[in-house]
Amino acid sequence: MKRRLLLGAAIAIAGLALVSNADAQQPPIKIGMSMAQTGGLAGGGKASLLGTEIWRDDINARGGLLGRKVELVVYDDKSSAAETPAIYSKLIDVDKVDLLFSPYATVPTAPIMPLVKQRGMVLIGNFSFQINSKIGHDMWFNVAPWGPADSWAAAFLDIGQKAGGKTVALLTADQEFAQNLATTAREVATKRNMPIVYDQAYPPNTVEFSGIIRALKAAKPDVVYVASYPPDSAGILRAINEIGIGDNVKLFGGGMVGLQFGPVMENLGSLVNGVVNFNTWLPEPSMYYDGTKTFFETYSKRAVEAKVDPLGYYLAPFGYAQGQLIEAAVKATGSLDQKAIAKYLHENEVKTIVGPISFAADGERKVTATLQAQFQGIVDKNMDQFKKPGKQVILFPPNLKSGELVTPFEAARK
């Protein structure tokens, strides 16, 4: 009898050991993505990836998803749209990833949309702009706060009208992202009976903006809407500093990429004063949610080691939030089934460190959370000033507003 009990106990222990070993040997949940680590988008790509890596480390410290560790499978797309289709084919067919995050930005993401739709996979978008409008993939979910296509222009022109603006000038890069913004700005201006007195697209390799700014100044617009990329944004502001823009301009900015990144802001210093521009997260009191403060404490330490944007406001918390979207959906559905995850994200609001996120049918935000904020009181060569509230005053949306517009633009620059 004693021998039978001992034998039974031994079998039970062995069985537990086998179960334990089986649990330990479960393969990780693999999330595949490309991310710009070199090329023109690398500055933003590295910050975004660090945000996602912090989420991965946090979720794994809590035991992972479905009892399995999370592994990121990441390739450098070199900021090139030519690279991404092959990378995502490899991620799906060779690496056999369970889930997909998109590249950073519109241009590298657009070419992979037909493939991902064909394969019936969920894709968490990363700051692309309206790339699903033609593809119509019902498993696309953009973590960016853009919302409806016309929301940027509508918010900016609304601020301009309230400041007394009646006419509009458009200055835009001749690339997909900027031209998408320009198209919606024209539509919004037309609906609001705001005549467009200047409409100029410039080649992407433009480095000298003096002639363009002189022509813009001569048109005497009340509101100037700019859609530009980082080198252009700097060139435009330097030209304005030399030439001026005219006392009639009440509002300037809107869609200038680059003015969200710490190194660019530090480099431009006081030249950004008065610009009202889009942003996604700022250290204003209205912007903190559960986990936001802790995230930035971790990010600040790791950003130094990784040599990436020391602020990381624009992209890094959204890199973390895209992980939170997947985390919520996988936990709620108890599976990695693509259709179940998509259904959950369509039907439920998810709380994240950048606020609650809910999606419209096209996979964009139901309501825009894109900020329009004005640089005020910026001095030269001082990164720490951007970590304080009151330096980028939020004007839109109303529920996050933290200050008032200083106008006209020339007065705000001083």
Does 364 fall in a domain? no
48 and 72 in a single domain? The answer is yes
- 366 domain residue, yes or no: no
96: which DSSP letter? -
pLDDT at 72: 98
Q: What is the DSSP letter of 120?
A: T
**Domain boundary residue, one of 357, 387, 402:** 357
The reply to whether 165 and 230 lie within a common domain is yes
Q: Is residue 188 part of a domain?
A: yes
What does pTM read for this prediction?
0.91
- Nearest partner of 303 among 288, 291, 314, judged by Cα: 314
**81 and 127 share one domain:** yes
The predicted pLDDT at position 129 comes to 85
Joined tokens for residue 251: 């509002």
Q: What is the CATH number of the domain that holds 243?
A: 3.40.50.2300
pLDDT for residue 18: 43
What order of strands is seen across the sheet that includes strand 168-173? 196-202, 168-173, 223-228, 251-256, 276-279, 371-375, 392-396
Answer yes or no: do 232 and 297 share one domain.
Answer: no
Could you tell me if residue 284 is inside a domain?
no
What is the residue range of 309's domain? 29-145+289-357
The per-residue pLDDT for 16 is 44
Q: Are residues 45 and 105 in the same domain?
A: yes
3-class secondary structure, 143: coil
| 14 located within any domain | no
Q: Quick one: 297 and 269 in the same domain?
A: no
Number of C-beta neighbours around residue 215 at 10 A: 13
Number of independent structural domains in the chain: 2
Same-domain check for residues 118 and 256:
no
One domain for residues 163 and 294 = no
Q: How far apart are CA 24 and CA 69, in angstroms?
A: 10
- Residue 332 inside a domain? The answer is yes
Specify the pLDDT at position 307: 93
| 274 plus 311 within the same structural domain | no
- Same domain (yes/no): 156, 196: yes
Whether residues 101 and 130 share a domain: the answer is yes
Residues 110 and 140 reside in one and the same domain: yes
- The answer to whether position 136 is within a domain reads yes
Q: Is position 19 within any domain?
A: no
pLDDT per residue rounded down to tens, the chain (414 residues): 444 444 444 444 444 444 444 445 699 999 999 999 999 889 899 999 999 999 999 999 999 999 999 999 999 999 999 999 999 999 999 999 999 999 999 889 999 999 999 999 999 999 998 899 889 999 999 999 999 989 999 999 999 999 999 999 999 999 888 998 999 999 999 999 999 999 999 998 899 999 999 999 999 999 999 999 888 999 999 999 999 999 999 999 999 999 999 999 999 999 999 999 999 999 999 999 999 999 999 999 999 999 999 999 999 999 999 999 999 999 999 999 999 999 999 999 999 999 999 999 999 999 999 999 999 999 999 999 999 999 999 999 999 999 999 999 999 998
